[in-house]
Every structure is written in C-alpha cells, then in structure tokens.
Amino acid sequence: MRILPVLAPATLTDAGTASTGETILFGVVALITVVCGLGLLTAKRAVSAAANMIGIMIGLAVLYVAGEAPFLGMTQIVVYTGAVMTLVLFVIMMVGIGGDEPVSTAGSSAGRWVIALLGVGLVAVLAAVVWRSAIPSASGLQGGDAAVPSALAGVLFGDHVVTMELTGVLLVIAAVGALTLTHRQRIRPRMTQRDQVDARMRAYAEEGAHPGQKPMPGVYAATNAATAPALSADGDALAESVPRVLRVRDQGLDLSEASPEAGAAQRAGTIASREDATVGRSGMPAMPGAPAPDVVQPVTAPSPQEDAPGEDRSETDPAPAERGNGHSSKEEQK
C-alpha cells in the first residue's frame, strides 16, 4: 500500500535499481534538505533555525515514503515535525526571540582560530570516514517486511529503551529550562500597600511631592493613548502619568503631541499659572462665602393644576431664593 500515489514511480525496484523518478525526487529533496541544513547552521535567530529544521524533517519524511517506508515517514511528520518541533517553538517563544539583543564577542582572536581549526579537522575526519567506508549495494524491497510497525516497536522499546527514555527526559529538561530562563528577577523589592503609603508620605515631607493618586494617561489630552501624558490645570504635561516602561524607552509624547491646542497656548504665553489663584467658596451649608446660586432645572413637565388660570400661588409657592437656598430664609428669620 502506498501513502502518496505521486511518489509511486520514485521507489526502488525488486532488483534494487533506482528508477528515473526516484533519482529526480532524491535530487530535489536532497537539495532542499541541504539548503535547510545550511540555513540551520547560519541562522542568527532561533525561530529561523527552527523553521529550517522543520524543512529538514519534512524532506526526510518524503524520502522515507518514497523508499516504501510509509510508517517511518508518517512518524517523522507526526512525532518530530508535529510534536518535537512544536515543543521547541514553544520553548523559543517562552524564552524570547531576542533578535535585537547584542551577541557577546568575548574571547581572543587566537581562541577563534583554534575553534575554526578544530571544526575543519572534524570535517576532514568525517569526510575520510565516509570515503573509506564500504557502502553495500541496494538490496531492493526483498527485506522490506522488517520495517513493519510491530518490528519497529520491538526494536525501539526493546533494544533502545534507554535511548527512548533519555529522549523523553531531555524534552522535560528543555521545558523546565525554558521556565527557568523566563523567570525574571525583580529590579526593586516587593512593596506592600503600607510601604507604598509610607513612601508617598516620605516623598511629600522631603520633596513636596503630591501623595495622591497620579492621573491616568490622556487626562485632558487630545488622545487617551498610554504614551500621552495627562495635563494639569495649568496645561503642563505630567510625565509621571505615563507608565515607567514607556518613559524609560523614551516613547512618551510631549505636550504638543498630547494636546496641540495646549501646546500652542503655552508657546504663546496665554496659559497663566493658577496655583496661587483664589477660588471662591461654594456657599454650601456650614461653609462661608456667597450663597449658592439658584439653579432652576425642571425635570418633569408642570401639572395642569399648577398652571390653572386665575390661581394665585404667591402665598403657597415659596420664593425662588427659598427654593434654591433654604438656609438663607432661616437666617433672615433669625
């Protein structure tokens, strides 16, 4: 049974000879696999290296299916490409891509030359081993019955059970390592609510800083973006209203960007400071100052009885001042 009908002419014959279809398929897939391998070695970002590794595994799966080993091909796709590489990508996402982080270049030039020579020597040794190895001729599909799933399961979990267990432990170690690397140390100690209150009152006593709640970004500004500072009553931009992370990254807006009108008025000098201005009292009960103004704000429509013609309401209806400010009439009676 063939999994992929398009790969039917690319299989070995019973005599072990390769057909034209297999030769073309092997050349194309091998070229793509080698290119992905070079990309894996030269990639500067972990995500690019993982993508190239996925290309290598898919190429191997195609060759397995073409060689009449569909179980190995599907296992290569499901286990390695679908499970292992997915775990690798999860680890990369948890740790962070870090494409803009500087790469450490510590070490002397002599050490780099030693490492380069060791690499060249290793390549030469491997090439010599491959060159002097006796590669047997293809045996065809006469021994293909040994690649059935039951035989593979016996080999993997019978002869190589330690290798399989070590592979599982390695995957668990990779996940635990990702959790460890993503743990960030605090740049400042944890502060309780009591500590925050004490710090605010200490700053108020020493520096005169306002101990109240800071305004949110965008208050009285033309935009409510997190980078837009709030505006004070004098029209000044309050840099403390922007989150600290944005201030450190120098991503906060200035007054002209947060409120173009306030910025133009400040440059023109039309905004006067109101910190020392005198504010009138409201005149509410138990508060000095002028009486509160009479606010007439009808809520419901007048009833027909109140608007009946010929009815004198001067004796029953109190004066407007008495309706709006009851304590004024009491003071007059006293």
| Mean pLDDT value of segment 33-52 | 88
Task: Give me 178's structure tokens.
Answer: 């990702």
Task: Give me 267's structure tokens.
Answer: 């440059």
Give the distance between the most distant pair of CA atoms in the chain: 126
59 close to 36: Cβ distance less than 8 angstroms? yes
94 close to 178: Cβ distance less than 8 angstroms? yes
> What pLDDT was estimated at residue 58?
92
> What pLDDT was estimated at residue 192?
87
Residue showing tokens 């060759």: 63
Contacts of 61 (CB under 8 A, 6+ apart): 72, 73, 74, 76, 77, 81
pLDDT at 57 over 80: yes
How would residue 251 be classed by pLDDT, with cut points 50, 70 and 90?
confident
How would residue 303 be classed by pLDDT, with cut points 50, 70 and 90?
low
243 close to 216: Cβ distance less than 8 angstroms? no
Per DSSP, the residues of 11-32 read: SBPTTSPBPHHHHHHHHHHHHH
Element (H, E) at 330: helix 326-333
Residue showing tokens 């091998």: 30
Residues recorded for the chain:
334
How would residue 14 be classed by pLDDT, with cut points 50, 70 and 90?
low
Percent above pLDDT 90 for the chain: 10
**124-128, 232-236, 291-295: which has the minimum mean pLDDT?**
291-295
pLDDT at 137 over 60: yes
Identify which of 26, 28, 99 has the alpha carbon closest to the alpha carbon of residue 67.
26
Rounded CA gap, 240 and 218, in Å? 12
Is the CATH number 1.20.120.1200 carried by domain 1-98? yes
Query: Across the chain, what does the average pLDDT equal?
Result: 73
CATH 1.20.120.1200 domain locations along the chain: 1-98
More confident residue, 276 or 137: 137
pLDDT at 314 over 60: no
pLDDT at 41 over 90: no
More confident residue, 11 or 199: 199
